[in-house]
Structure 1
């Protein structure tokens, strides 16, 4: 009897996207169940020690934390997305943690309470992108021709900038052409493009606009025609 996989999800969670990308790359059928993290169901709290998404149910056995889920999938189902060499594998795990740190910087950016903090957080993101730029030497993906778990971690990171760029020109990628090319390659990968729903950009824009933040103020200050185009921007 085939194993039943259920991915417990939230529509905007970038960590859920990592698991969805790996499942798609391995061509594994699974069921995706979205929950409201502001009103977590009791059944979810009973099986999720941290009360966070993603959570993967393997039949009725829960696995939590995105990095653990992705490694479990990579260890149990071909093709492998991690390198076989132990040093390279350890390095890739480090870059996956770097992706999580970049997500923390992004959260600091979109929650920045004032213009000065917003500018400082934008600089923090540019610094992280510069670090990535120095690490990239092959294309189209992080380690060359084959997509890896590092790419699955960074696909959701880069997705934020598609919406940020509609708000203002922050020049995030002006000094990082290799990162920009990597970003474009990931955008075109079906597993990454389809890791979110078609209305994800609209949901993210709504989420950002509801923050008490400098970025939300920029959104509210957009000219009426631009704001209309912004709200109707294609996914």
Structure 2
């Protein structure tokens, strides 16, 4: 077996995708967290984009390869590792799932703007954008518990880190983003209870996220209802 190392960051949602896929596959791996504000030289030498995640693959023959981009890493794991399939077998359904994974990345883009908003106008603009995207998802979801029904997939691995943000955000005030979206709320709950999702971050995740909000002077922690 190859030795796998996930180069990581404590908060990165894209890293969480890869970690969830590794945990779902039951693949042993080492995780190394780096400080993205002070990237080590060895990391910059092997990361073409200077971003996480990276998956370092060390073969028994002494060979070594590095993969970058979370979607590439997840696809590689799906193609090379045994365990439960994380992509549908049907080519058309699989292609649709890849599309929804990209949709998840667009949600993360809006989420970045939401969590770093420094005034009420910025916050409301991103709140509306997120509400619109989750409303779209409400219409795409099956009866659950997961995106496509009973089987956990890479689409679920993409959205689990998205929903995790709101575990803290909900303590700071009621955004109303999920109001009336019953399927989305059931999906969020099911993902939060899955072992691979829970174990994709450290126990200090929420504290680190709060510190991130404070560092960026987020209006979320300055709301009258913020705990």
TM-score of Structure 1 vs Structure 2, range by shorter chain: over 0.9
Per-residue CA shift, 1:104-126, capped at 9, x if unaligned? 11101111231011111111100
**1:42 aligned partner:** 41
**1:127 aligned partner:** 132
- TM normalised by structure 1 equals 0.91
Which moves more between the two structures, 121-130 or 110-119?
Answer: 110-119
Name which of 189, 192, 197 aligns with 2:194: 189
Cα distance in 1 for partners of 2:26, 2:6 equals 14
Check if 1:202 corresponds to 2:207. yes
How do 1:4-83 and structure 2 match up within 5 A?
4-59=3-58, 60-78=64-82, 79-83=84-88
Determine helix, strand or coil for the equivalent of 1:63.
strand
Cα distance in 2 for partners of 1:155, 1:213 equals 22
Determine helix, strand or coil for the equivalent of 1:145.
coil
Determine helix, strand or coil for the equivalent of 1:61.
strand
Unmatched 5+ stretches in structure 1:
228-235
Name which of 98, 101, 104 aligns with 1:99: 104
Alignment size in residue pairs: 221
**1:155 aligned partner:** 160
- TM normalised by structure 2 equals 0.94
Q: CA deviation at 1:138?
A: 2.4
**1:213 aligned partner:** 218
Instruction: State the Cα RMSD in Å.
Output: 1.1
